[in-house]
Every structure is written in structure tokens, then in C-alpha cells.
Amino acid sequence: MKPYDELLDELVKRSKDIKVKAVDISSYTFKENRGYRFAILLYIPLDPDYIYAQLDQSSVEYGEFCDKERFTDETAEWTAEFIAQHGYKAFAQSERNLTDTFDKSTKTSVFPHKTVAVLSGIGWIGKNNLLVTKEYGSAISMCTVLTNMPCTVAVSQRAVSDCMSCRICTDICPPKVLHNTLWESGTSRDDIVNIYQCKECLQCLINCKWTRLYAMKYSNQCNT
């Protein structure tokens, strides 16, 4: 069995909910890809019951969100160790490992998980400046691993926003930092959001139209 296939099997054992996509990042600069050819995207959907319970609430409970973020980071670090044990190199872009490359003054990272996610074809950048997928909305936790281990890559597709005229996130944002900008490839983050005034309240994540559809479809609370 190839190491990448073995990795996929082991990740399923670690969590039945984890999703995996790999993309070729060789065309990016050395600063961005650190000299690695592939990026592995690991993402886990948030519990639909958690999302459903937060809909239309004045404040959002962070518990489930933080737990999934922590687990995804740990899984990325575990993945990098697994790859190293098979004789290849890897770098987990976990929060702990990116402390030296995250620019606090501009609130930017060199190679965001969202970039890899868009390349993989699972979604687009929403008007909330988060990744939006048709399956889960923005209700996912992501982390990435850069590696030289041969991977089965996703077919690269041109991502297109499906936010259309929806402005739920724009209207619900308490500090009004979202500009109602319809994203396309090359759109600046600052054209979408005033990141410096963002309160990280998660209202735009929870109440995104696509997130809401996910919760309404799969939440046990909704279907009882």
C-alpha cells in the first residue's frame, strides 16, 4: 500500500468525520510552499446540532468550535509525524507551528488553509471572508500539511462564489465589518472585510445560508 493511501486509512481510524484532499502547490513561491510540492487539507464538519442550537442567538458558544479547531491542529501534527516515519518530509501548518510566520500587524498568514481548500475545489471564499462549502457551509475546521510525499491530488477547478445576492452575514455582523463583496479569484481580503474591527463572534459562520441549510438538514433537534 502506498504511504498516502495508508495515511488515509489511519486518518479514518482517528476520526470517521475527517475529510482529506491533496493539491499540487509546486507553482507557488518558496515562501508560500516552503519548498514542498503537495498540500494536504484536513477538514472536519462542526456538529450540526451545535450549529442548530446557535442559529439566531445573540451570542455564540465557542466550545464545539474550539474543540474541533484543536483536534484538527493535533491531527495535522500527527499527520506530519506519520509522513516523517515513512521517510518523507512534512510541515503541519498548525497554530502552534505558525507563530513565526503569522503577521500580527496585518493579521495574515503566508499560505492560508483557505487557499488550499479553494484549490481542492470544496468551496469558495464567502462574503464572510470564510471558506463556504455547499455541503457544510462555513461549519468546518481546517488545517493543512505541506509535504513532499506523493499524494493523489484533487483535480484543480476554478472556484466560483455561490453567495450571489445573499447578504445574511453582512447584515448580521454586529460591528458591520463585512462589505458585501462577491469574491472571485484575486479579490483582496480587505475588499471583503475590515479584519481589524472584526470581533470574531462567529455570527457570520453560524448564520451563513449554506451553514444553516447544513444544520437544518442534519440536526437531530431539527428533525425531531
**Residue 224 belongs to some domain of the structure:** no
CB-based contact 144:94 (threshold 8 Å): no
**Residue 76 belongs to some domain of the structure:** yes
CA-closest candidate to residue 39, choices 131, 135, 130, 118: 118
Count of structural domains, the chain: 1
pTM for the predicted model, two decimal places: 0.95
At 98-148, the pLDDT tens digits run 987 888 888 889 999 999 999 999 999 999 999 999 999 999 999 999 999
C-alpha cell at 168: 445574511
At 9-36, the pLDDT tens digits run 999 999 999 999 999 999 999 999 999 9
**Residue 77 belongs to some domain of the structure:** yes
At 64-77, the pLDDT tens digits run 999 999 999 999 99
**Residue 38 belongs to some domain of the structure:** yes
How far apart are the C-alpha atoms of 171 and 169, rounded to whole Å? Answer: 5
**Residue 196 belongs to some domain of the structure:** yes
How far apart are the C-alpha atoms of 105 and 195, rounded to whole Å? Answer: 11
**Residue 25 belongs to some domain of the structure:** yes
**Residue 223 belongs to some domain of the structure:** no
**Residue 142 belongs to some domain of the structure:** yes
**Segments forming the whole domain that contains residue 183:** 3-218
CB-based contact 21:40 (threshold 8 Å): yes
